[in-house]
Amino acid sequence: MQVFLQTIVGGVSLGAVYALVALGFSLVYRTMGLVNFAHGNVVTVGAYLASTFYLSTKLPFALAMVIAIALTGAIGLVIERVLRPLENRDFDLMLIGTIGFGIVLDALIIMIWGATGRAVPSPVPSAPLDLFGLRIRTYDLVVLAIAAVATVLLVLFLSRTKRGAAMQAVAMDHEAATAVGIHVGHSNAVAFMIGGGLAALAGGLVGPLLYVSPALGGALGIKGFAAAILGGFGSIPGAIVGGLAIGILDSFTAGHFQGYSELVTFLVFTVIIMVRPTGVFGERTVNRA
């Protein structure tokens, strides 16, 4: 039982990071019906920016994270602004455009930071805590706390602010939202900006857990994408549940199947999606103009 609980604890912190990535995917999808295939690359940019400000300029980890979030939020705005002219013309071109942005970001990452990675030390004491016989890394608790706060703030923004309500309206019906005077383009821009910020938050947090490299965003992007699908693409609660589920499943497969852990994780994911194609919370579909 202790090994079982320890495995769950180990998977929850990484699952929280997957959840943040999934939230970025879901927020853009629910607002404009678009899968942002550059999202994983933005995660990599966020990880490198946060680690650069933390390691090279010696800024406090929290401040480095805030700067990285602001910069990747700006990247999200740029992506949306470039894609906006295509929104009412060719939706397929928008999808291809996000792939193109991902390729450009990959090239820029290698040009700026090189093809080699970097290890990021934990910003908090590395000595684990001993709770009821379970050894929990202090940084895992930091990741969980920050991810929980970010999720609560996102939910409050969507449910308690005018801009959040406008985004909810756009998610339900673009035409009706436009008819009542909501600027759909502004809502889409905010969705991309928040999605970019969430990507940087996930990338910055995962730096001390994993190795920051150009391939980081690809791995996190795939897991976050799977988490979003598992929870129900476009669902905020689904992204959270899906992320935690993928993280815990990852932890179990890594402990029992080692070299085949990725294969087993996605086999289990495939079986679940075959049983429930819409995901756990995938009841509603996004309507597009």
The CATH number assigned to the domain holding 213 equals 1.10.3470
Q: Which domain, by its residues, includes 17?
A: 2-117+132-275
| Unique residue bearing structure tokens 């947090």 | 205
Look up the pTM and report it: 0.90
Residue 78 in any domain: the answer is: yes
Residue 145 in any domain: the answer is: yes
CA gap 79, 37 in Å, rounded: 11
118: which strand partners? Answer: 212
| Unique residue bearing structure tokens 């970001």 | 105
Q: What is the pLDDT of residues 175-221, one digit of tens each?
A: 787 777 778 788 889 999 999 999 999 999 999 988 899 999 888 99
Query: What's the pLDDT at 128?
Result: 78
Q: What is the pLDDT of residues 63-103, one digit of tens each?
A: 999 999 999 999 999 999 988 887 777 778 888 999 999 99
> How many structural domains does the chain have?
1
Residue 288 in any domain: the answer is: no
Residue 269 in any domain: the answer is: yes
Residue 283 in any domain: the answer is: no
Top pLDDT among 230 and 174 is at 230
Residue 181 in any domain: the answer is: yes
Residue 284 in any domain: the answer is: no
Q: How far is CA 162 from CA 73, 150, 187, 197, in A?
A: 20, 19, 11, 20
How crowded is the C-beta side of 68, counted as CA atoms within 13 Å?
30
List the single range of 6-20, 51-65, 121-135 with lowest mean pLDDT.
Answer: 121-135
pLDDT score of 163 more than 50: yes
Query: What's the pLDDT at 79?
Result: 92
Residue 193 in any domain: the answer is: yes
What are the start-end ranges of the E strands in 128-216?
129-131, 134-136
Query: What's the pLDDT at 285?
Result: 46
pLDDT-derived band of residue 283, with 50, 70 and 90 as boundaries?
low
